[in-house]
Amino acid sequence: MSRIIVTGAAGFIGSHTTDRLLAEGHDVLSIDNLRTGHRHNLEEALKSPKCRLQIADVAEEGVLDGLVKEFQPDAIIHLAALVSVQESIDDPDLNLRLNYIATQRVTTAMEANGVSRVVFASSAAIYGDTTDLPISEDAPKMPISPYGEAKWNSEEWLHARAAQSGFVVRCHRYFNVFGPRQDPASPYSGVISIFDRCYLDGKPVTIFGDGQQTRDFISVHDVARANVIAAMRPDIKSGSANVCTGNATSLLDIVNVFASYYPQVAAPSFAEGREGDIIHSLGCPDRVREQLGFVAEVPVADGLGELIRAG
Ligand code: UD1
């Protein structure tokens, strides 16, 4: 059994990662400032005596250091972030604090307390608008948002500190993650969470463009599993890898699955494509398979079915 700190544990990916760690019998210190995370995401987790929630801002100097000293984790899974690309454009200073300075706080706390492993939530956003698909990890890093920039800078920081200090770092470049507990609050939330909310409310969805755009949608259950593998397996060395399926799914495919569950909801309406929208995004899953032995297992239609049945 290991002791693991999860930052951003009350968020979408964080809460599923916490659930998975607990299911495997580990002790978890969940940290979240509840800025965009929700306590109810950890409702089940907090029933376990092996899980504790600490409400704290990991970007604040010394906060994580104190918690690490007290809990003495074997690894940190650092998922706390400003998650909205749009918000990073609207408030670049906040993005810098939450998506970059917080990463520095993590390494400072690790170095002061001898923590040997960290898993970091990076993003496909570090690649920018590349059209060379599937995207391999060696593709140029040309982020087009403060969010993508901070994720890329964090990766570089983590690898530089790891080389100095000897800890192991795994950077997970998530593609389009979907599943229960994803917040549909903003028009810029993940499309599947928005569609889910619309269908649940009996309202037709809006498709920007012709619906033939594709994404590499990966279930949050697969993502949580990748996080736990990277945190737990001592044979895994430092590196950065895509966390993706390698499968392209169009918005029309997604809508067809929803429509099969909600035949009474009116057909989608179509609006002009969003400015700056990319048409296709697809990750190459080879490296994560080689380095972690991880292969995504949840087919998109099954993941959507679970989401829809959860209501
Ligand atoms: C992701 C980011 C976005 C960022 C972009 C480029 C998230 C949730 N989105 O977008 O902020 O600008 O990478 O780095 O992290 N769509 C609809 N109807 C809707 C909502 C979305 O048709 O109601 C479309 C979008 O126009 C897009 C597709 O669905 O074509 C997927 O959208 P989204 O889930 O935002 O993902 P990305 O486009 O990959």
Q: What is the mean pLDDT of residues 9-18?
A: 98
Model pLDDT, residue 160: 98
Measured from the Cβ of residue 88, the count of other Cβ atoms closer than 10 Å reads: 24
Q: Is the CB of 125 under 6 A from ligand 1?
A: yes
Percent of the chain with pLDDT over 70: 100
Q: What is the mean pLDDT of residues 70-75?
A: 98
Pairing mode, if any, of strands 168-174 and 176-178?
Answer: unpaired
Kindly report whether the global pTM for this prediction surpasses the value 0.95: yes
Q: Is the CB of 233 under 6 A from ligand 1?
A: no
Q: What is the mean pLDDT of residues 146-166?
A: 98
Q: Is the CB of 190 under 6 A from ligand 1?
A: yes
- Residue 311: pLDDT above 90? no
Residue nearest to atom 29 of ligand 1 (CA): 191
| Domain spans in the chain, listed from the N-terminal domain onward | 3-178+218-244+284-297
Model pLDDT, residue 301: 98
Query: What is the set of active-site residues?
Result: 147
pLDDT tens digit string along 125-147? 999 999 999 999 999 999 999 99
Distance 85 CA to ligand 1 centre (A): 10
Phi and psi of 6, rounded to 5°?
-115, 120
Model pLDDT, residue 113: 98
Would you state the structure tokens that stand for residue 226, as one six-digit string?
């990748």
pLDDT band at 7 (very low <50, low <70, confident <90, very high): very high
Q: Is the CB of 213 under 6 A from ligand 1?
A: yes
Q: What is the mean pLDDT of residues 6-27?
A: 98
Atom number in ligand 1 closest to CA 279? 30
Q: What is the mean pLDDT of residues 103-120?
A: 98
Would you state the structure tokens that stand for residue 99, as one six-digit string?
């998506």
DSSP state of 125: G
pLDDT band at 205 (very low <50, low <70, confident <90, very high): very high
Helix (H) or strand (E) holding 78, with range, is strand 75-78
- Residue 10: pLDDT above 90? yes
Q: What is the mean pLDDT of residues 82-100?
A: 97
Distance 216 CA to ligand 1 centre (A): 12
Mean pLDDT score of the chain: 97
pLDDT tens digit string along 175-200? 999 999 999 998 889 999 999 999 99
Q: What is the mean pLDDT of residues 282-306?
A: 98
pLDDT tens digit string along 214-258? 999 999 999 999 999 999 999 999 999 999 999 999 999 999 999
Instruction: Name the CA dihedral angle for 128, 133, 137, 141, rounded to a multiple of 10 degrees.
Output: -20
Measured from the Cβ of residue 115, the count of other Cβ atoms closer than 10 Å reads: 22
Q: What homologous superfamily does CATH list for 3-178+218-244+284-297? A: NAD(P)-binding Rossmann-like Domain (3.40.50.720)
DSSP string, 163-198: HHH--EEEEEEE-EEE-TT----STTS-HHHHHHHH
Q: What is the mean pLDDT of residues 262-275?
A: 97
Q: Is the CB of 224 under 6 A from ligand 1?
A: no
Atom number in ligand 1 closest to CA 189? 8
Model pLDDT, residue 297: 98
Model pLDDT, residue 188: 85
Cis omega (within 30 of 0) for bond into 134 = yes
Mutate to test the pocket of ligand 1, among 84, 90, 174, 191 (most ligand atoms within 8 A of CB): 191
